[in-house]
Amino acid sequence: MSYRILVVDDIRDNADSLVRLLIAMGYEAKAAYSGEEAIEQAGAFLPDMAFIDIGMPGLDGYETVRRMRQQRESIHLILVALTGWTNPEDKRQAYAAGFDLHVGKPMTGEKLSEVLRLINPDAGK
């Protein structure tokens, strides 16, 4: 089975690097560079998981997730905040907005495997 992952970050190098890594690991992955694009991609690409930066211009990660949670296609989606915003209040806001998990940047390979096991029990083996 091929799992689909959406990576959302306004810094293209960050998004593209993680997409390349995920593809090399056998996942189907796409990048979106804004909250608006992420919402469109979630409806069209139908990912199993999305890594979303919080600190983006326009729609920040919090609002992006709120809107994604309103889409019928995104109800099952595991939403992961991948962000440099890591204080307790940032985490509280992330969970309140609808994120399932909050991960600080930079993410280690071990942490990536741990997160991916939410959709793929064999991740990192």
In tens, the pLDDT along 2-42 reads: 899 999 999 999 999 999 999 999 999 999 999 999 999 99
Overall average pLDDT of the 66-90 stretch: 93
The answer to whether the beta carbons of residues 80 and 59 sit under 8 Å apart is no
For the domain made up of 4-116, the CATH class stated in words is alpha beta
